[in-house]
Structure 1
Amino acid sequence: MIRETGAIQLSYPPVRPRTVRTVASITKVKNRLKRRKVVSSRKLSSELDISRTSMRQILKNDLGCRGYKKIVEPLLTDAHKAGRKKFTNWIRNNFRKEQTMKILFSDEKIFDTNGVYNSQNDRIWAVDRAEADKNGGIKQQQGFPQKVMVWLGVCSKGVTPLVILDTGTVDHVRYIKEVLPVALKYGNKVFGDDWTFQQDNAPAHKDEETQEWCRKHLPSFIPRERWPANSPDLNPLDYCIWDEFVTAIKWNKVTSKRTLIEELKRAVKKIRQEVILESCESWTVRLSNISKNSGCYLR
């Protein structure tokens, strides 16, 4: 054939013919995914009587698919989206870039003694389950872990002192007494009398007495009617700093409420300044993206 044509053109591939990953099987899997997109490869394998190895090859190599986890995000109604766009326009019309760098963002978060870990990415590599268990492959959790609520503020200059709210509930009276003075003192220290305080629409924040305290004592603040609902993607603490904070905690040292508080106090000092600055600088970019995507949630 080479002498006659200069090439080898075979009428069939020079390998063992496929018996499972046939055109019919690939088409069957493709049609199955069209009917119901949310399904595991294991269930597909069982339903279509195809081995899991062949099923993974069909999904990845033949169909070019990858498995993605569902992402949980706030449900945004049309009213929420309109409020987010309105807030974006208000900021862009009333704040210059240098003024947005003088906003002190704030938020609360609850930590418990069970800690935080990623079940998908925190893997233990071992030859068998017994060795994996021996090398830390078991995550023990308490049925009713002790919890601690903390408040933290962040701005382009750094983070505020951590406020530990470990007992009782946090109503507007306690919020005014224990949290707002910390924010006021820190803001005046790093910015003088030219800065803006941000808080979300939690009940203690939007209470009339809280709003009145802010009007009387703070140089400027974002009032409750301005901050859009369901918008954690607009707070640097939610979209960046809390993750940095959690990573800095040595969870293996947390065995009680006391050790949890000690670790929280230690970890807040480990938050990197470059991460803080980048998260605050990107805030105006996120506002611009909200205007472009009609107020939808930002990942």
Structure 2
Amino acid sequence: MKSSPHRPSIELLFKRGLGSAEIARRLQISSSTVRNVVAAIKKRGDASEVKKSGRPRSVNTRNTRAIIKKRIIRNDGLSLNRMASQLGIARSTVQSIVKNDLKLKSYKLRRGQYLSDKSKAMRLEKCRKLLQHFQVRRVSDVIWTDEKIFTIEPLPNRQNQRQLLSKDDSMSPKRRLAHNRLFPKSVMVWAGITATGKTPLVFIERNVKINSEVYQKIVLMDNFPDLNPMDFSVWGMLEGKIAGKVFATVDDLKAALEVAWASIDDGYLRRTVNSVKKRLRACVKARGSNFEILL
């Protein structure tokens, strides 16, 4: 219970001979508060608050903390619910120990491309060659190209697309369904960027075979999306600009993509392309492995 801020005043008036009712009237506080303070004065001689020792820990003990720490060391992906169930204690206790005593925080797994030892060696070699190349050539002179399939029904963002409903309505037809057709209509888009500009979007029609007769391109980092600015940044930017929209036709999708593509400014392109050398160095430092944590 929170201590009364009137303790000193109550003590002063009581020692002057005033009764509890008069003290309560003068200070405009409850008589029960005055009686409690007066009882403390009579018992201890003053109204100072006794320091409490606090509720002793019954579950959060040194032994419990040691057990939880050892289990996390063995498996840092262990569920707090499962750990609480196995130890027979509340999840809130486990969470408190993990957060406050062990100073640990839960992080989402980083997404990354699976890389075999052969792929890592290949990446390392390519990155070194490109860094040597960029010592005499400018990274801004490179045309970075790629292609991507867009559908008229983009995948919903399950984290951010929500509804505010009552508990009853949450199980009613009012709750919308995020659905996708099994094979939604789509279009393949080809594009390229440099540090100073971008190509027009090229829409590849269905059943058209992509080969040198359709277009020519030099693949510098094929199969390594974290090293191609089109993959690690630009396509994501374009997707974000049309996110959550459902298009009636492929032509509507194309029109929206062209508007979104036109809105991407040269400043963004320059920053994105200039980040390639930093990524190449990080890849070399990681010996061809995933390197985002080094950026």
TM-score for both structures, normalised by structure 1: 0.69
Are the equivalent residues in 2 in contact too, given 1:80–1:229 (CA < 8 A)?
Answer: no
Q: 1:150 aligns with which of 186, 189, 205?
A: 189
- Structure 1 residue 81: Cα displacement: 2.4
Task: Tell whether the 8 Å contact from 1:248 to 1:271 is kept in structure 2 after alignment.
Answer: no
Matches within 5 A, 1:133-282: 138-168=177-207, 170-172=209-211, 176-180=212-216, 198-199=218-219, 227=220, 230-282=223-275
**In 1, are the aligned partners of 2:157 and 2:244 still within 8 Å (CA)?**
no
Q: Tell me the equivalent position of 2:104.
A: 65
How far did 1:122 drift? 4.9
Q: Would you say 1:298 and 2:295 are equivalent positions?
A: no
Shift of 1:133: 9.2
Q: Is contact 1:74–1:230 with CA below 8 Å preserved after alignment? A: no
How many residues are matched? 244
SS where residue 296 of structure 1 aligns? coil
**One-letter code of the match for 1:260?**
L
1:89-144 per-residue CA deviation (whole Å, 9 max, x = no partner) reads 32233334652211000111122233144434555566758479999875333233
When residues 252 and 232 of structure 1 are mapped into structure 2, their CA distance, relative to the original with a 3 A threshold, is closer
Q: Which residue is 1:224 aligned to?
A: none
Higher relative contact order (CA 8 A, sep 6+): 1
Q: Deviations over 1:128-174 (max 9, x none)?
A: 584799998753332332222211111112221111124125331xx
Question: Once superposed, which parts of structure 1, at least 4 consecutive aligned residues long, lie more than 6 Å away?
Answer: 131-137
Distance 1:261 1:49 in 2: 57
Q: Indicate if the aligned counterparts of 1:151 and 1:179 stay in contact, CA closer than 8 A.
A: no
Instruction: Return the alpha-carbon distance in structure 1 between the equivalents of residues 131 and 207 of structure 2.
Output: 39
Does 1:114 pair with 2:107?
no
1:298–1:119 CA distance, 2 compared to 1 (3 A)? farther
Match of 2:76 among 21, 29, 37: 37
| Cα distance in structure 2, aligned partners of 1:135 and 1:282 | 46
- Structure 1 contact 245–267 (Cα < 8 Å) conserved: yes
**SS state at 2:245 partner:** helix
1:286 is matched with which residue? 279
Whose radius of gyration is greater, 1 or 2?
Answer: 2
Query: Which of 6, 11, 17 in structure 1 is aligned with 2:56?
Result: 17
Paired with 1:274 and 1:35, the residues of 2 have a C-alpha distance of 47
**Cα distance change on mapping 1:228 and 1:268 into 2, 3 Å:** closer
Provide closer, same or farther for how the CA distance between residues 229 and 167 of structure 1 changes in structure 2, counting only shifts above 3 A. closer
What CA distance in whole angstroms lies between the structure 2 residues aligned with 1:130 and 1:32?
41
* Alpha-carbon distance change, 46 to 77 in structure 1, aligned in 2, over 3 angstroms: same
Tell me if the contact between 2:143 and 2:194 (Cα under 8 Å) persists in the aligned partners.
Answer: yes
Amino acid at match of 2:80: S
Equivalent residue number for residue 203 of structure 1:
none
After superposition, the Cα gap between the structure-2 partners of 1:76 and 1:253, relative to the gap in structure 1 and judged at 3 Å, is: closer
Name the structure 2 match of 1:48.
87
Q: CA deviation at 1:279?
A: 0.8
Paired residue secondary structure (2:138): helix
The CA distance in 2 between the partners of 1:125 and 1:268, in whole Å, is 33
The one-letter code matched in structure 2 to 1:231 is: F
Q: Whole-Å Cα distance in 1 between the matches of residues 173 and 266 of structure 2?
A: 37
Q: Are the counterparts in 2 of residues 113 and 145 from structure 1 also a CA contact under 8 Å?
A: yes
Say which SS state the counterpart of residue 149 (structure 1) adopts: strand
Q: Which runs of 5+ in 2 are unaligned?
A: 1-50
